[in-house]
A and B are shown apart, each in its own frame.
Chain A
Amino acid sequence: QQQVKQSPQSLIVQKGGISIINCAYENTAFDYFPWYQQFPGKGPALLIAIRPDVSEKKEGRFTISFNKSAKQFSLHIMDSQPGDSATYFCAASPTNDYKLSFGAGTTVTVRA
């Protein structure tokens, strides 16, 4: 059972462009939605997270958009830089749960 579906599997964007990664979930008990960034040889690192009481959250060049009725959320990377080249994972969890359910990951390549 795939609890969180993530797309695309990979994307290539030019420096300065916008990267958009989408995730969809099925479990209506999910109410915490983080995004993790992973560089090769490293563990995932928390990038930004959102709860369903807001439709958008922005931190620097990274924005999460959340659509509760559609059960979808997305990550937008504005003004993409080569240093943003990494694998991005969306995840979801009920607040009082111990387990994060991760999406399959999106490899982002930013071309200079």
Chain B
Amino acid sequence: EPEVTQTPSHQVTQMGQEVILRCVPISNHLYFYWYRQILGQKVEFLVSFYNNEISEKSEIFDDQFSVERPDGSNFTLKIRSTKLEDSAMYFCASSGTHRNEKLFFGSGTQLSVL
């Protein structure tokens, strides 16, 4: 079964450093997403990406965040200057023909900001 792949599985960084989280969505999918889950809390939407541009973003997704699909297969989330409160599990997801239906999530990247 096709799956969404995320790397690394764990990332530890110092506050103020830049991090890039990487994702390889399912190959024929058109819609790409980043969600995050702070330990013990609900899954929160960050951003959606369609047709090579951001289609929607949440209040969390401020100027410190950016997304990119550099080569037609990878999908990245960059946090320019990490804060302690950015510590969370970040999930990449993709879906096929329908915007928010049948999202396939990756296993996540656990980001720890020290």
What is the interface of chain A, defined by CB distance below 8 A to chain B? Answer: 32, 34, 36, 41-46, 49, 89, 93, 95-105
Contact = CB atoms under 8 A, between A and B. Distances in A.
Nearest to B50: A98
Contacts, number: 59
A89 B100 contact: no
A32 B100 contact: yes
A93 B99 CA distance: 10
Given A43-B107, A44-B105, A99 B45 contact: yes
B81 interface: no
Interface of B: 4, 31, 33, 41-45, 48, 50, 55-56, 58, 91, 93, 99-108
Nearest to B4: A43
Given A98-B55, A99-B100, A43 B91 contact: yes
A44 B91 contact: yes
